[in-house]
Amino acid sequence: MKEGSPMPHENALLQALLDAPAPQPELSEIGQVTEVGDGIAIVSGLARALVDEMLDFGNGLMGVVFDLEEGRLGVVLLGDAGHVVPGTDVRRTGRVVAVPVGRALLGRVVDALGRPRDGGAPPQTDRTRPIEMEAPSILDRAPVARPLATGLKAIDAAVPVGLGQRELIIGDRQTGKTSIAVDTILNQKGTSVLCVYCAIGQRGDAVAKVIGSIRDGGMMDKTVVISAGDEEAPGLSYVAPYAAMSMAEVLAMGGNDVVIIFDDLTHHAHSYRELSLLLRRPPGREAFPGDIFFVHARLLERAGQFANHAGGGSITALPVVETQAENLSAYIPTNLISITDGQIYLSPRLVRRNQFPAVDLGVSVSRVGGKAQAPAFREVAGNLRVTLSQFEELEEFARFGTRLDDDTRHRLARGAAVRGALRQPERDPMAPDEQLAVLLAAMGGLLDNMDEAEMAVAMAAIREDVRINVSETADIIASDRSLGDEDRARIVNAARAAISEAEHGPDA
């Protein structure tokens, strides 16, 4: 063999390379940023890009195509745009926004893209799901027929929520909207219900407080928290509720009942309005774009009670919306009231009277949950609303200082007792049998003319007595039976004895 000539095995390798098929060319489309705004970018040179497609801006920053125009794309950025300047290269990914899903997310705090926010490792799941999915069809749904217990007397008795329902929580700021949502999560501790809490545009300390309450209540292992704070890009606030809904859908597909809370959709609408104005979309009423109704409708329509062939699970949506000066006729509140199956209205007037939860039963309504309510509660709820409405009318009239007859004074005392019985501190959910006993005692006159401290002692005594001595009440509620006269009398007598013992001791 001549010196410098190739070895036989080298000849074989060269021949194999020559005989191998040529690699297929890879098509890579690269565009450039022409303008950058606060959370948005205008991109040119990507003529084949599609709506909702993700674009790669480098350094881990992604964007979503929102607007398609000839020669330009309006892109919403999903993160800090600090390094994006005009001339930055942008690449297509051929993918839509998707987030990790599955039970591995339970107990975790993640951002709108499923990235960990709790200092832990990324969720151990290889499943992802697009954030935008088609809502289930009518044939894939089943009627709402099972109750969701919130643990709050004012809601479970008068404004019941069913599994698979969409019930709006609405009210001015600082009226306790988030508190009701958190108490509902904590009341699922002894059930199989899973929870998803989506914080949209909230301050970091407020989200941390919610997470602390959930953890202290022992529900963190059954809850996923998605946080898109007010200090983050508006694009993340926009995609957060859709990402949360995709996570909830996968849990429901496994036959689970899921409660999802959007706190709140007012901030979500504001982030969408901000992005739309930056992208120069035509503004409409209150400067919101014309499709703002569809933005929330396509999200909430994905909730419901699903048929057995669709997994048999349910997604109960509790969206939160904030009003200004009790204005229920504003644009976003009216949109959401028309989309949902009822609303729990929290009144600042009741807050000023130290009535918590501040649920206004005259405005609150549940259009579906009554069908899932236990008959025992349904019988009590009708009398509760009538008693309170008559009391409020008389209370307004009595402010004029007019002389009142004995019957009117009696009805005022009874109404005040019933309203006081609906008071409930935060993080103190009540079992259904305890709620029923307290309400029957109030409407039976056992709490008349008590001050707030005396009423708190009396209600605590009634709750303890029900747990120990009147356990059959829970069986009546669980078996969907009505309360007979004997059942009512037994509960009221037990409550009377418990109050007497609390006031005078066990020998009274």
How far CA 319 is from CA of 3, 339, 342, in Å, comes to: 82, 11, 11
449-454 own/partner pairs: CB under 8 Å, 24+ apart? 449/413, 449/417, 450/417, 450/420, 452/354, 452/420, 452/423
Q: Where are the beta strands (DSSP E) in 239-368?
A: 257-263, 304-305, 314-322, 342-346, 365-366
> What is the spatial distance between Cα 410 and Cα 454, in angstroms, rounded to a whole number?
19
Instruction: Name the active-site residue from 95, 141, 146, 367.
Output: 367
Based on the residue annotation, tell me whether 367 is a catalytic residue of this protein: yes
Peptide bond into 357 cis (omega under 30): yes
Backbone angles phi, psi at 209, to 5 degrees: -65, -40
Residue found under tokens 């992802």: 128
Tokens 């939160």 map to which residue?
A: 320
CA distance 285 to 331: 8
Question: Among candidates 152, 223, 176, 184, which has minimal Cα distance to 430?
Answer: 152
Among 305, 389, 306, 296, which Cα is nearest to 337's?
296
State the DSSP H helix or E strand holding residue 99, giving kind and residue range, or none if neither: strand 98-100
Asked whether the beta carbons of 273 and 201 are under 8 A apart, the reply is no
Q: Is 411 exposed, middle or buried (0-12, 13-18, 19+ CB in 10 A)?
A: middle
Backbone angles phi, psi at 20, to 5 degrees: -65, 150
Distance separating alpha carbons of residues 133 and 299, to the nearest angstrom: 9
Cα separation, 73 vs 63, whole angstroms? 11
Kind of pairing between the strands at 147-148 and 161-162:
antiparallel
Q: Which tokens go with 305?
A: 């009670």
Torsion of CA 384, 390, 396, 399, to 10 degrees: -100
Could you write out the DSSP letters of every residue in 282-298?
A: PB-GGG-BTTHHHHHHH
CA 216, 217, 223, 224 dihedral sign is negative
The Cα angle at residue 299 between residues 297 and 302, in degrees rounded to 5: 105
CA pseudo-torsion sign 154, 160, 161, 162: positive
Contacts of 36 by beta carbon, 8 Å cutoff, 6+ apart: 42, 81, 84, 85, 86
Active site residues: 367
